[in-house]
């Protein structure tokens, strides 16, 4: 386990030098299809690119935008930027052109490192006051001049110096530039080892964007400080790319967002044990359910390569039913909680101490409190203080003052509760909480968890409607919906055909029209069933008044639904209507 005593200071140069000194001949970074380069080779590539940045005119404090998917060169570029004293501005690969340009302008970035496939997002860098452009694919200069000669001078860096400005793609609206120091990020990487020790024999497979602080700090820095090796996908993580990668790499550690395991559970696990009536009946018995889950867990671990010992889940709240499955399956999942503003980790549980429904214990070195708790439930706003809390929102002192007080306490905006053993559980976002007609607090996330258990619901969102009503927006599983409608319509269709043979004139026309609208009718019938299902499984105050379908939900990089886009009092376009 690496400690601050090994590094000396919480800075990127100290972190890099320690890893190069201790692990020089070990494999460090690779694409799945390639061969790893060693830590020594990584160091040489960083030196080369840092010199290129310096000679092109990049100075300490300059902002350098970094736009590309996770890769060895992304890591090399980041180290080159930060060890030069410049500030890295990672941009999410799924940002639109407008978002990319807006972030570059706001950060006042004068240099850009961009992957070839994303270059169209910045067609005219000069119009954004960007004077230097480098290609991420090979770390070569595309635009700019070499105005300086000689070696790169020694750059004096303080722990409090800004290392990165990270623009969030949040659930509540416009992106904010979160200013993180060297100490914020390096401190979190060191303290995060409390939840999972990583060593030089570990192998990671990265499937999340490094421009997201969760993947960067936990999925990259924690590996790099311990001499482990990380593999990167060359294409987005689909079934056709991920399964062969898992088979080849056989990772010991991976990071994920809840959606991935939720899809595995709903699309593979549940259908397997509910398809046949006898098996389904046994599956409803807790004893047999645990046995079936244990068998599924063995198969799941084999699918992940057979060596997985830590499957970290973060970025959003985990469905309790899915978490129960992972626990009963003895799948080595871990839970983490935090925000971009906290670099990101605040609390969590390692694979051996997870407890469904809770996040876990507070990370050492961090203070966590529950402010203004409800006298009946104990639920209040989670506030945090520690060396991992951001410096502030870049160029936005007013917004910073709203969340960060003079004593260093950061308001997370999350609602939670701490039990007697210091374990944190989350209830939802304070901004999402709905005030019921009787003054009661309604947490939409709790209702959504129930909705998502329905076999035909892919995802859901509960919002406030008119007159304090509750509206459930659901994205239906269209493939299953079609199968269900066909199944339910079979008997009805037989009766209708018999009626057609005997009917004449207008009756025949009516029957044919009914058949043509059968699918739409079954959809409405299923929506009514979903409403009944959820209302039978929530308390009286949380019952929904109506269920409306949507085509698909817009999401952030961590696969959280952008709630601010779905105000029921505005126009919500139902699925299938254009």
List, for residues 42-87, the tens digit of each pLDDT value. 999 999 999 999 999 999 999 999 999 999 999 999 999 999 999 9
Alpha-helix residue ranges (DSSP H) falling in 315-443: 320-328, 397-403
The burial class, CB within 10 Å (0-12 / 13-18 / 19+), for 375 is exposed
Query: What confidence tens digit (pLDDT) does each residue in 376-433 have?
Result: 889 999 999 999 999 999 999 999 999 999 999 999 999 999 999 999 999 888 878 7
Tell me the range of 306-310, 439-443, 496-500 where mean pLDDT is highest: 306-310
Q: Give the number of other CB atoms < 10 A from CB of residue 219.
A: 25
Interatomic CA distance for residues 177 and 168, integer angstroms: 7
Given this model, what pLDDT does residue 392 score?
A: 98
Tell me the range of 200-214, 261-275, 537-551 where mean pLDDT is highest: 200-214
550 contact partners, CB below 8 Å, separation of at least 6: 473, 474, 475, 566, 572, 573, 574, 575
In the block, which residue shows the tokens 């800004």? 162
The burial class, CB within 10 Å (0-12 / 13-18 / 19+), for 215 is buried
Same fold, 4-200 and 441-565: no
Given this model, what pLDDT does residue 443 score?
A: 80
Interatomic CA distance for residues 292 and 273, integer angstroms: 8
**522: pLDDT confidence band, cut at 50, 70 and 90?**
low
More confident position, 465 or 63: 63
Rounded mean pLDDT, 173-189:
90
pLDDT at 503 exceeding the cut of 50: no
**CATH number corresponding to 441-565:** 3.30.300.30
Contact 421, 349 (CB under 8 A): no
Contact 244, 219 (CB under 8 A): no
60-74, 187-201, 259-273, 503-517 — which is least confidently predicted?
Answer: 503-517
Could you tell me the fold of the domain covering 257-386+413-430?
Rossmann fold (3.40.50)
Query: What confidence tens digit (pLDDT) does each residue in 197-253 have?
Result: 999 999 999 999 999 999 999 999 999 999 999 999 999 888 889 999 999 999 999
Rounded mean pLDDT, 477-490:
68
Coil, strand or helix at 318: coil
Query: What confidence tens digit (pLDDT) does each residue in 104-153 have?
Result: 999 999 999 999 999 999 999 999 999 999 999 999 999 999 989 889 99
Buried b / exposed e over 242-265, threshold 16 CB at 10 Å, is: beebbeebebbbbbbbbbbbbebb
The CA distances from residue 75 to 39, 49, 290, in Å, are 12, 12, 42
371: left (phi over 0), alpha (psi -120 to 50) or beta: beta
Each domain of the chain, given as residue ranges in start order, spans 4-200, 257-386+413-430, 441-565
What beta strand segments (E) does 419-552 contain? 424-429, 434-435, 441-442, 457-464, 470-476, 546-549
pLDDT at 318 exceeding the cut of 90: no
Which architecture, in CATH terms, is 4-200?
A: 3-Layer(aba) Sandwich (3.40)
Q: Give the number of other CB atoms < 10 A from CB of residue 116.
A: 12
Contact 346, 362 (CB under 8 A): yes
pLDDT at 519 exceeding the cut of 60: no
Pairing of strands 27-31, 229-232: parallel
Given this model, what pLDDT does residue 515 score?
A: 37
Given this model, what pLDDT does residue 571 score?
A: 41
Average pLDDT, the chain: 89
Contact 255, 345 (CB under 8 A): no
Pairing of strands 333-338, 345-349: antiparallel
């Amino acid at each position: 386990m690496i400690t601050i005593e090994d590094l000396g200071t919480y800075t990127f140069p100290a972190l890099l030098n320690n890893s190069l000194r201790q692990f020089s001949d070990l494999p460090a970074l690779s694409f799945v299809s390639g061969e790893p380069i060693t830590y020594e080779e990584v160091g040489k590539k960083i030196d080369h690119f840092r010199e290129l940045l310096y000679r092109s005119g990049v100075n300490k404090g300059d902002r350098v935008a970094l736009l590309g998917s996770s890769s060895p060169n992304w890591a090399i570029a980041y180290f080159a930027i930060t060890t030069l004293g410049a500030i890295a501005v990672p941009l999410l690969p799924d940002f639109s052109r407008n978002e990319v340009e807006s972030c570059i302008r706001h950060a006042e970035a004068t240099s850009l490192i961009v992957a070839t496939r994303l270059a169209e997002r910045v067609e005219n860098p000069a119009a954004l006051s960007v004077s230097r452009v480098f290609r991420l694919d090979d770390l070569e200069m595309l635009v700019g001049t070499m105005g300086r000669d000689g070696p790169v001078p020694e750059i004096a860096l303080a722990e409090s110096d800004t290392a990165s400005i990270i623009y969030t793609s949040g659930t509540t609206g416009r992106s904010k530039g979160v200013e993180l120091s060297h100490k914020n990020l390096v401190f979190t990487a060191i303290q995060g080892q409390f939840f999972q020790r990583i060593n030089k024999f570990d192998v990671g497979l990265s499937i999340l964007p490094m421009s997201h602080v969760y993947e960067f700090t936990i999925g990259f820095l924690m590996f790099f400080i311990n001499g482990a090796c990380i593999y990167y996908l060359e294409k987005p993580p689909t079934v056709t790319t991920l399964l062969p990668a898992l088979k080849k790499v056989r990772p010991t550690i991976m990071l994920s967002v809840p959606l991935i395991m939720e899809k595995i559970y709903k699309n593979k696990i549940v259908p397997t044990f509910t398809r046949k009536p006898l098996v389904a009946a046994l599956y409803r018995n807790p004893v047999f359910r645990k046995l079936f889950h244990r068998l599924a867990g063995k198969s799941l671990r084999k699918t992940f390569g057979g060596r997985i010992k830590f499957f970290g889940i973060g970025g959003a709240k985990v469905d309790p039913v899915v978490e129960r499955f992972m626990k009963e399956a003895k799948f080595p999942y871990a839970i983490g909680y935090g925000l971009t503003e906290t670099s990101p980790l605040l609390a969590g549980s390692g694979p051996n101490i997870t407890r469904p429904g809770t996040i876990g214990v507070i990370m050492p070195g961090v203070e966590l409190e529950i402010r203004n708790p409800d006298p009946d439930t104990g639920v209040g706003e989670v506030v945090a203080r520690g060396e991992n809390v951001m410096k502030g929102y870049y160029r936005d002192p007013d917004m910073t003052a709203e969340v960060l007080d003079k004593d260093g306490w950061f308001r997370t905006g999350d609602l939670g509760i701490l039990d007697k053993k210091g374990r944190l559980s989350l209830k939802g976002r304070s901004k999402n909480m709905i005030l019921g007609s009787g003054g009661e607090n309604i947490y939409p996330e709790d209702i959504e968890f129930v909705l998502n258990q329905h076999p035909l619901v892919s995802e859901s969102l509960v919002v406030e409607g008119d007159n304090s009503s509750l509206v459930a927006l659901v994205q239906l599983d269209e493939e299953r919906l079609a199968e269900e409608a066909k199944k339910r319509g079979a008997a009805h269709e037989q009766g209708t055909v018999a009626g057609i043979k005997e009917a004449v004139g207008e009756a025949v026309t009516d029957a044919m029209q009914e058949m043509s609208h059968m699918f739409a009718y079954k959809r409405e019938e299923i929506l009514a069933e979903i409403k009944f299902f959820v209302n039978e499984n929530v308390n009286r105050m949380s019952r929904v008044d109506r269920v409306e379908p949507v085509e698909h939900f817009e999401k952030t990089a961590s696969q959280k639904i952008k709630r601010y886009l779905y105000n029921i009092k505005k126009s919500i376009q139902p699925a299938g209507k254009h």
